[in-house]
Amino acid sequence: MTAWDDVRGAIEAKDQGRVIALAAKLDGAGRREVADALPGLLRELRAKAEWNVLERGYVEPLLLAGAGTIGGASAAAAWLCRRELEVWPMRFARGGLQHDLVKVTAARPAEWRADVGRRIADRLRAGDDRMGSLWPIAAEFTLSAGAAAPASDGFVAGWAALADPAALADDPFLDALVPRLFDADGVGGALADDEIRVRWDRERTTNWAEALAGLAAAGRLDRAALIDGCVGRFLRGGTSHELRFFVRLHDLLDPSDEEAAARVRDHVRLLPAAPSTVAGLALRQVRRADDLGRLDAGLFAEAADALAFRPEKKLVRAALGWLDRTARKRDRVDATVRAVTAVFATEALDLRERAVKIAVKHAGRVDAATRETVRDAAAGLPADLRAALAAGYGAVDAGAEPAPVPSGPPPYVPRALPAPIASLAELAEEFRAQQHATFAWVATERFLAALVESAFTDPSGTREALRPHVQVDLSEHHRLHSSTRAAHYWAALAGQMLVRPFPVEPPAARWFDTRRTGVDGPPVRRLLLWRKREIIASVGRTPVLLAAPTEGSGHIAPMTLVERLERLEAAGVEPGRADLAQALLRIPRDVDPDAAIRAESLVSEAGRTVAPLLASGGLPDPVVQCRRLDEPLRTERGRVPKPPPHGVVSVASPGDGLPEPLSELWSYDAKFTAGHDCGGTESWPALLPSHRELAAAHALPHQFDPYEYASGQGATALALAAADGPAGAATAAVLAYALAHRDARERADAVEAFLVFAARGHLPAAGTGTALGTLARSGAITPNRAVRSLAEAADAGAHAGVWPVIAAVLPALLPEPGTRAPSGLPDLLALGARTAESVRARDEVPGLAEVAARGGSSRLVTEAARLHRVLTGA
């Protein structure tokens, strides 16, 4: 037997120990023989495996064989990083593999092992799904070689994500990598949620910030270097999420007054544009330096001007207090008053009033130039505040009239679909792109429609056009199994079926029968996957894809639908059951009478199903109900998590007569909590484009996430806005949650959805306000995010839509005496006053008059009184 025969036998027996032993005995020729043969065995094993995914147990022997025999460090690193040798269930369960890799390469020079470790480290990227398996290998090779820690950002981010903070004192990478924590990309993201990891990771006893601060306190790490590292990281910029860990570490290091003063210039530089948490930290340090008399006039002016223009009212309020308190003490009254005039332009009434009071308080000590500055800045103030300033600064003339409010939201322009694929060359290019894309319904539908038609009319030409673009492996992940719960690679698999046919189980007779084939999940997803399986199995057998949409909303033009049915009849082909079911769901609510008349001539079974629906205007609307449940929350390791929404959504058919494949969509009940299988719902309204509330009811249980991860919530709301049909409580709840989402992109999409709803006259305003109130009272959302979204919608002209939302949400948020107001409520009241005044509203808002009558100078009472005056005309 040859050396390769022995090693191959050990691999096929899944015997890691024998592979290590055999590799250790090989001479140079034997190692080359094995190394040359390994790729062929990998291809062979994958070809035998279902969906080309290696059977569990082969990965480790193959990795060990390659590490022990491949000569070049570059080639060895490439082998260890091959995607085919990474199966997701094993990513975090490879106990000891890295040690076995070092054992099998023990005879190699230390320089070789260090080079392999460095090359693997260079491939790492923050957030890489293989970090958990590749980083330990790179680290173990580095340590075994006695080499310096790799310098790549990915290696540093991997250390931050995987090292145990409780063991940092003895960590061999500590001294080399701690300085890199502050400049390596990806570290902030890796450690952003480190503080809460100890709550769910049973192996964690502390977090990184506490560990580093503790080592600094013990003298193991340089405290000043850590503080400088945090400040330097703040100056590099980043999002609040990316800087969260460094803020926490800086707070735990708790710089002294002297340490704060030594870095005051850097702290002042952070004030204009840093995220609010960083700016708040910087302000505290600047004030400490000021208390020591270490803030010169130039730095003070820079700091005061920056703070006056911050969008966060909390920061501006803190800045005003600091400026007022130190104006005379530090002999900088003119600079203080000039700075507070910038606050005259804010929309927050309480901040304007505070700024005016400060200016009036110090009026007797300012010079003529400052008085002129105050009068100019005050021109845009309300009459009562201008009058208050007049006593100290002289009469203030009113400025020009404010710009007129837009008369309404921008007109709605329906999204047009891209032009159909017109050539085999274009089809091939789209096929190449689809193999690297996640599921997007517009691109997928466009490609599949062209593929089905082209494969029927010119199968050989289509096959040859696609062949150069077929990858060796289109199904390397478990999600491509027939029971997949995702639609990834749908189009790519359909193309592969034509070029390189593979066994596929026939689609079930009905979409809800997919549960018995291992395809589970919510009803709409199972409908989607039923159609996926049917299309893959029917490429080349049908002349046209019946359900391909013709409108950006997902609808099919009725006349086009009839023409496709005629074409199918001429070819003697019935459409697939899934294709027909989807086509029925895409019939618009307004049907061209000529199409309905022409459909009466159809003779196929599918034609006889479609014709009466065209005549009657499509499928009937179901009855949809949704409500919130007030149930006790389960705890996790003794911790009460953020309260998730608990709700029930139900869909009931209005009567008989529904085609059988659709009956379960029209009869649906779901009790849901946060994190209920989130994501992927942005395409669902395009599957049910004439039944907006039905699509929302099915999507609603999948919108909420306790950690507020972005899962297309805003895109789902936008797709619902483009759909047709009633917009009820389910639609309102989807929109409400997206408007208050943590992710700015989701909120931006939600604002666009709000404007589309308003422009089309379909906005469920009262329902959205009610849903916002319910979600806010439960703790599922933070109201101030919703306020920002509503303000953007108002700025775009949707005052008439924003005000009824506010009127509906206020009763749920107005606090009882002695209770704390929700965050953002004063801003919501201010926005309410602005929009109510614009639309001349005279609504009665329950509880508003009582809050307005409480007296006092709090912003809550001030803004409530202002809104009450607008609504009563007082």
CB neighbour list of residue 109: distance below 8 Å, 6 or more residues apart: none
Domain encompassing residue 774: 764-874
Both 475 and 369 in one domain: the answer is no
pLDDT surpassing 90 at residue 786: yes
Q: Determine the 3-state secondary structure of 865 from DSSP.
A: helix
Q: Average pLDDT, stretch 452-478?
A: 78
pLDDT digits (tens, 9 = 90+) for 160-184: 999 999 999 999 999 999 999 999 9
CB neighbour list of residue 272: distance below 8 Å, 6 or more residues apart: 306, 309, 310
pLDDT digits (tens, 9 = 90+) for 360-392: 999 999 999 999 999 999 998 988 899 999 989
Tokens encoding 53: 């995914």
Total domain count, the chain: 4
Both 370 and 474 in one domain: the answer is no
pLDDT surpassing 50 at residue 304: yes
Classify residue 534 as exposed, middle or buried by CB count within 10 Å of its CB (0-12, 13-18, 19+).
buried
pLDDT digits (tens, 9 = 90+) for 425-439: 999 999 888 776 667
Specify if 333 maps to a domain.
Answer: yes
pLDDT digits (tens, 9 = 90+) for 401-429: 666 667 789 999 999 999 999 999 999 99
Run of H or E residues at 624: strand 623-628
**Angle at the Cα of 319 (from 316 to 324), degrees rounded to 5?**
125
CB neighbour list of residue 36: distance below 8 Å, 6 or more residues apart: none
138 vs 115: CA distance, rounded Å: 10
Specify if 504 maps to a domain.
Answer: yes
pLDDT at residue 405, as a whole number: 66
pLDDT at residue 680, as a whole number: 80
Task: List, edge to edge, every strand of the sheet that includes 668-672.
Answer: 623-628, 647-652, 668-672
pLDDT at residue 355, as a whole number: 96
Both 666 and 705 in one domain: the answer is yes
Work out the pLDDT band at 639, boundaries 50, 70, 90.
Answer: very low
- Which of 795, 764, 722 has its CA nearest to residue 409? 795
Run of H or E residues at 102: helix 97-104
Both 391 and 266 in one domain: the answer is yes
Radius of gyration of the chain (CA): 33
758 vs 755: CA distance, rounded Å: 5
Both 595 and 641 in one domain: the answer is no
592 vs 580: CA distance, rounded Å: 19
pLDDT at residue 792, as a whole number: 95
785 vs 775: CA distance, rounded Å: 12
Query: Last residue of a domain, which of 727, 753, 779?
Result: 753
Specify if 666 maps to a domain.
Answer: yes
pLDDT at residue 229, as a whole number: 98
Specify if 200 maps to a domain.
Answer: no
330 vs 558: CA distance, rounded Å: 77
Per-residue HEC secondary structure of 789-823 comes to: HHHHHHHCCCHHHHHHHHHHHHHHHCCCCCCCCCC
Q: Write down the mean pLDDT value for the chain.
A: 88
Q: Determine the 3-state secondary structure of 636 from DSSP.
A: strand
Both 365 and 450 in one domain: the answer is no
Both 259 and 341 in one domain: the answer is yes
Work out the pLDDT band at 47, boundaries 50, 70, 90.
Answer: confident
pLDDT surpassing 50 at residue 93: no
pLDDT surpassing 50 at residue 483: no
Q: Average pLDDT, stretch 451-459?
A: 95
pLDDT surpassing 80 at residue 642: no
Both 535 and 661 in one domain: the answer is no
Work out the pLDDT band at 635, boundaries 50, 70, 90.
Answer: very low
Both 526 and 601 in one domain: the answer is yes
Q: Average pLDDT, stretch 58-72?
A: 95
Work out the pLDDT band at 780, boundaries 50, 70, 90.
Answer: confident
Both 718 and 790 in one domain: the answer is no
Specify if 231 maps to a domain.
Answer: no
Work out the pLDDT band at 477, boundaries 50, 70, 90.
Answer: very low
Exposure string of 512-532, with b = 16+ CB inside 10 Å and e = fewer, is: bebeebebebbbbbbbbbbbb
Query: Last residue of a domain, which of 589, 616, 643?
Result: 616
390 vs 388: CA distance, rounded Å: 6
pLDDT at residue 433, as a whole number: 83
Q: What is the largest CA-CA distance in the chain?
A: 105
Both 440 and 562 in one domain: the answer is yes
* Count of other CB atoms within 10 angstroms of residue 204: 14
pLDDT at residue 633, as a whole number: 40
pLDDT at residue 388, as a whole number: 92
Q: Higher confidence at residue 366 or residue 704?
A: 366
Specify if 663 maps to a domain.
Answer: yes
Exposure string of 380-414, with b = 16+ CB inside 10 Å and e = fewer, is: bbeeebbebbeebbeebeeeeeeeeeeeebeebee
Both 325 and 385 in one domain: the answer is yes
Work out the pLDDT band at 89, boundaries 50, 70, 90.
Answer: very low
Query: Last residue of a domain, which of 583, 616, 649?
Result: 616
Specify if 150 maps to a domain.
Answer: no
296 Ramachandran zone, left/alpha/beta (phi>0; psi -120 to 50)? beta
340 vs 317: CA distance, rounded Å: 11
Specify if 233 maps to a domain.
Answer: no
Least confident of 345-354, 468-477, 543-552: 468-477
